[in-house]
Amino acid sequence: MSSLILRTATRFMLPLLLLFSVFLLFRGHNEPGGGFAGGLVAASAFALYALAFGVPSARQSLRVDPRSLIGTGLLAAVGSGLLSLVLGKPFLAHRDLWTIVTLPGFGTLHLGTPLVFDAGVYLVVLGVTLTIILPLAEEQQ
Amino acid sequence: MGLIAVVLAGFVAAAVAPWLVRIARGAAGWVLAAVPLGLLAYLAGQLGSIAPHGLSVSYPWVPSLGVRFSFHLDGLSLTMAVLITGVGALVLIYAGGYLAGHRQLGRFFAFLMAFMASMLGLVLADNALTMFVFWELTSITSYLLIGFDHERPEARSAALQALLVTGAGGLALLAGLLLLGQIGQDLGLPAAASLEISTLRTLGKESVAGHALYLPALLLILGGALTKSAQFPFHFWLPSAMEAPTPVSAYLHSATMVKAGVYLLARLSPVLAGTEAWTWGVMAPGLATLLIGGFLAIQETDLKRILAYSTVSALGMLTMLLGLGSPAAVAAAMAFLLGHALYKGALFLVAGAIDHETGTRNVDQLGGLRKAMPWTATAAALAACSMAGLPPLFGFVGKEAAVEASLHHGPPWLATGAVMLGGLLFVAIAGIVGARPFVGQRTELPKHAHEAPISLWLGSMILAVVGLVLGLAPGSVDSSLLAPAAANVLGRKEVASLGLALWHGWNLTLALSALTVLAGVSVYVARLPLRWLLGWGKSLSRWGPAGWYELGLKGLNVVAAVQTRLLQSGYLRLYLLTILVTTVGLVGYTLLRRVELPRREDWFDGALHEASLVSGLIALAVLATILARSRMRAIVALGVVGYGVALLFVLFGAPDLAMTQFLVETLTVILFVLVFYYLSPSEPFSRPTARLRDATVAIAVGALMTVLVLVTASADWYPSVSGYYAERSVPDAHGRNIVNVILVDFRGLDTLGEITVLAVAAIGVYALLHLRPERRQPR
């Protein structure tokens, strides 16, 4: 795959897609989106990059091993549930773990442990997809 | 609170034991012994407070299931706890000397401390399920300790055997305890209290025995107790467990863990005893075990195996006495329990010291060690006299009580005969183990024998001396410890002295006792011809329970191999075919038999025209996939099918689902392209017959799914939860997208499970990609 068009487009697409994936993650609580969709978008971005520039460059731009993303994600998801356990609530009870931050000129921000949980889902989905796709693509090249 | 600390202290000590060994080195055993000694001191301080009701602590654990983290200290549990901590301290000191310099000493101490804590939890627990958890923990720690020399295959298989036998019994016990809780609830106990043994005791034996579930519960609980306490026909794991280092044999397999089954029977006796089924179900195995264990013991030549079989025999005695169930029998059981723990623990420690100093455990090779090992010899002599039931040792008191109890209950020839036969075998065994190695001429030994270090004889000496002191003054443990214990076993409120004494006057019991000793001495003298005479029994043992165990294991392997060859073809397409055909068969059958198909007007609402258009597109794409001449075309057409489905989601107002479907479909196409690269391009498509078969299965699955979806969508078996979610989403979870709120909050645990499955699947795929055969070959 040495199409100049694909390479040039990908160079611009990767940051945009990654930004979009994070956007999906954040808006997921109120609008369609969420960690699962966000993780898939991010995975597609890196898959596209791997197709255009080869797997080694894709791995390099990812910086971390996709396998450790899986572990980190699971840890974040479990960790978000442990906080409620410390407070004497059941595991994964997010209900009272919210803070509402008001940013002047921007609006209010509802921050809570579900966001950490969703970020964990995002990382697991990204890690799983790339753990499967990258070695397959590696063989081909 | 104190009781919780008693249970947890050992686990904490287990966690720090490896570090302690690194710091304290040779003295680690002495330092660690401070833990059980401290617990012993605390427990001794409770002697006065247990009398009428005992001490209780209780914390909720799983309230919805009636499981409480509750502990109860009464006479019975105190007796056991004193044995566990007292013998534990001595064994820790002993182990420090016995395994000195072993490179895994830290691990050994950790296992031993964890076992001690589990055993304490087992005897102190009040909630039946809490007790079960500790029961299983003792099985697991016993497994680790038997297999401590894990480089020897014998140790590994012995550990596995003990685990499988006691583990199977544990499963039966769990079922039995749950049935017992059910009985409690049926008899009017609140669900939260139905598993507390102290509450179950208040039910009254008659009402429990009258319940329909009584017999199943009793049999299942017996399954647990008899396996744990190595009763016939499950006795074979205990001699095998002698593969463990000797401190373990002394501690787990004579003084404490094997008594857990007996303890359980004693503990539940106020609930279950008094029926015909109890008497025979408990007494008969006990009686058989008492005799079989004794006869097997005198055939052995290895010190530890002799002791193991004699322990089996003694456990049989205890079980039989509990089966008799009369006040005198229970009193005898309590006295015998204490006496046995003292002398058998001592004799095991002696056997270990002899092995350590001479290099052999074969009784035929040992002799004349009394001069070389005076301290060990003294301890052995005292313990052996106690085992033989000679005055003035505590073993005599226990045996007298047993003979006395057997005289007054049941057919006298049966119980009394068994007690006396067992007693005379004990005399012979005591001679073989406690006297034979020390008397007579010095023999040629693998090592030059000399006295063991103090850590190796102190424990046996203390146990033996305690046996002597208690024998001289049996009243000291009678009213303070054993009488409350017996009252707990009998389910009585008032504590009556057991009347233990060294001298009861000239009576029948004394005469029978003397007769036993005389007969036992003659068996000891004639032991070599007897061993030869009983030799044929050894060839029979191949057909005994140990043989069944081997046969069972082999059978399991054969079944596993056959069904693996049958079901595991290694072809993904065949696995898929099996799964799909099974699903169609089972679900389709249920649908046809049980479920009415919905009426037509329920089927559809909403955007009918657009949906028909998209469905047509999907159908065309499916046709294109099937008829495609190249793989790439098939993949692309399949992608169209997926996008079509996503469009349907959009039409029916599920944007989240649609977005995810689009993304998954995109990635799936990429994956397909990458995976198909591995197939050689010349590989032909399947044969026409196979295609016909696949088409049939595919159409059947499609039809089934269609019907299934229509049925589930049109039925309202359960009230919908959507309304609740829609209502609570913003106030409780700060989110307007209900789908996402359900995923991350309301049903977060499901999502956690799903991403865990994803992670495991990824590991599997990664392993498959990296472990293909051609990779293993050197390049």
With a cut of 70, say whether residue B219 has pLDDT above it.
Answer: yes
Across the interface, whether the CB atoms of A37 and B735 are under 8 A apart is answered no
**Residue B177's pLDDT band (cuts 50, 70, 90):** very high
- Residue B362 phi, psi dihedral angles, 5° rounding: -80, 120
Q: State how far residue A25 is from chain B, nearest Cα, in angstroms.
A: 10
Cα separation values, B677 from A136, B273, B674, B680, B725, Å: 9, 72, 5, 7, 46
Across the interface, whether the CB atoms of B769 and A31 are under 8 A apart is answered no
Residues 6 or more apart in contact with residue B370 via CB below 8 angstroms = B377, B438, B439
CA B274 to chain centre: 28
**Residue B606's pLDDT band (cuts 50, 70, 90):** low
Across the interface, whether the CB atoms of B656 and A73 are under 8 A apart is answered no
Percent of chain B with pLDDT over 70: 94
C-alpha span between B259 and B264 (Å, rounded): 9
- Residue A99 phi, psi dihedral angles, 5° rounding: -125, 145
- Residue A16 phi, psi dihedral angles, 5° rounding: -65, -45
> Coil, strand, or helix at residue B397?
helix
CB < 8 Å to A124, chain B: 755, 758-759
With a cut of 80, say whether residue B686 has pLDDT above it.
Answer: no
Assigned token pair, B107 = 């691990």
- Which of A10, A23, A83, A121 to substitute to test the interface with B, most B CBs within 10 Å? A121
Residue pLDDT, tens place only, B475-505: 888 888 888 888 888 888 888 888 787 777 7
Q: Which amino acid is at B396?
A: F
* A75 part of contact set with chain B, CB < 8 Å: no
* A36 part of contact set with chain B, CB < 8 Å: yes
Across the interface, whether the CB atoms of A95 and B733 are under 8 A apart is answered yes
CB < 8 Å to B663, chain A: 37, 40-41, 44
Across the interface, whether the CB atoms of A124 and B745 are under 8 A apart is answered no
What mean pLDDT do residues B582-591 have? 92
Across the interface, whether the CB atoms of A41 and B663 are under 8 A apart is answered yes
CA angle B147, B285, B241 (to 5 degrees): 10
- Point out the residue among B737, B751, B758 whose CB comes nearest to the CB of A32: B737
Percent of chain B with pLDDT over 90: 43
C-alpha span between B423 and B389 (Å, rounded): 8
Q: What is the pLDDT of residue B607?
A: 66
- Point out the residue among B656, B741, B766 whose CB comes nearest to the CB of A135: B766
Residue pLDDT, tens place only, B355-407: 988 888 888 888 888 888 899 999 999 999 999 888 888 989 988 888 888 88
What mean pLDDT do residues B227-246 have? 90
Residue B358 near residue B453, CB atoms below 8 Å: no
With a cut of 50, say whether residue B169 has pLDDT above it.
Answer: yes
Least confident of B261-275, B334-348, B447-461, B682-696: B682-696
At which residue do the structure tokens 């090592």 appear? Answer: B447
| Top-confidence residue, B114 or B367 | B114
Per residue, what are the HEC states of B442-511?
CCCCCCCCCCCCHHHHHHHHHHHHHHHHHHHCCHHHHHHHHHHHHHHHHCCCCCCCCCCCCCCCCCHHHH
* A131 part of contact set with chain B, CB < 8 Å: yes
**Residue B776's pLDDT band (cuts 50, 70, 90):** very low
- Which residues of B fall below an 8 Å CB-CB distance to A? 655-656, 659-660, 663-664, 666-667, 670-671, 674-675, 677-678, 732-737, 739-741, 743-745, 748-749, 751-752, 755-756, 758-759, 761-763, 765-766, 769-770
Q: Which run of H or of E encompasses A101?
A: strand A98-103
CB < 8 Å to A120, chain B: 755
Q: State how far residue B739 is from chain A, nearest Cα, in angstroms.
A: 8
CA B48 to chain centre: 34
**Residue B530's pLDDT band (cuts 50, 70, 90):** confident
* A33 part of contact set with chain B, CB < 8 Å: yes
Instruction: Give the count of Cβ contacts less than 8 A between chain A and B.
Output: 139
Q: Which run of H or of E encompasses B73?
A: strand B67-73
**Residue B740's pLDDT band (cuts 50, 70, 90):** confident
With a cut of 70, say whether residue B193 has pLDDT above it.
Answer: yes
Is B100 exposed, middle or buried (CB count within 10 Å of its CB: 0-12, 13-18, 19+)? middle
Assigned token pair, B441 = 């001429």
What mean pLDDT do residues A123-140 have? 89
pLDDT mean across residues, chain A? 88
Percent of chain A with pLDDT over 90: 57
Across the interface, whether the CB atoms of B671 and A132 are under 8 A apart is answered yes
C-alpha span between B333 and B407 (Å, rounded): 14
Q: What is the pLDDT of residue B412?
A: 67
Q: State how far residue A85 is from chain B, nearest Cα, in angstroms.
A: 14
Across the interface, whether the CB atoms of B743 and A125 are under 8 A apart is answered no
Q: State how far residue A72 is from chain B, nearest Cα, in angstroms.
A: 11
CA angle B25, B27, B28 (to 5 degrees): 70
**Residue B90's pLDDT band (cuts 50, 70, 90):** very high
**Residue B222's pLDDT band (cuts 50, 70, 90):** very high
Assigned token pair, A23 = 């956007």
Residue of B nearest to A91 (CA): B749
Q: Which run of H or of E encompasses A107?
A: strand A107-112
Across the interface, whether the CB atoms of A29 and B660 are under 8 A apart is answered no
Q: Which run of H or of E encompasses B58?
A: strand B55-62
- Point out the residue among B659, B735, B763 whose CB comes nearest to the CB of A37: B659
What mean pLDDT do residues A78-84 have? 88
With a cut of 80, say whether residue B773 has pLDDT above it.
Answer: no
Residue pLDDT, tens place only, B723-732: 888 888 888 8
C-alpha span between B668 and A132 (Å, rounded): 11
With a cut of 50, say whether residue B461 has pLDDT above it.
Answer: yes
pLDDT mean across residues, chain B? 87
Q: State how far residue A5 is from chain B, nearest Cα, in angstroms.
A: 19
C-alpha span between B375 and B24 (Å, rounded): 27
With a cut of 50, say whether residue B167 has pLDDT above it.
Answer: yes
Assigned token pair, B581 = 């055909």
C-alpha span between B379 and B376 (Å, rounded): 5
- Which of B744, B745, B750, B771 to substitute to test the interface with A, most A CBs within 10 Å? B744
Is B647 exposed, middle or buried (CB count within 10 Å of its CB: 0-12, 13-18, 19+)? buried
With a cut of 60, say whether residue B761 has pLDDT above it.
Answer: yes
Residue pLDDT, tens place only, B510-529: 888 888 888 888 888 888 88
Neighbouring CB atoms inside 10 A of B72's CB total 24
* A11 part of contact set with chain B, CB < 8 Å: no
What secondary structure does DSSP assign to A11-51, as a single string?
HHHHHHHHHHHHHHHHHTTTSS--HHHHHHHHHHHHHHHHH
* A73 part of contact set with chain B, CB < 8 Å: yes
**Residue B411's pLDDT band (cuts 50, 70, 90):** low
Across the interface, whether the CB atoms of A121 and B745 are under 8 A apart is answered no
Q: State how far residue B550 is from chain A, nearest Cα, in angstroms.
A: 42
Across the interface, whether the CB atoms of B769 and A124 are under 8 A apart is answered no
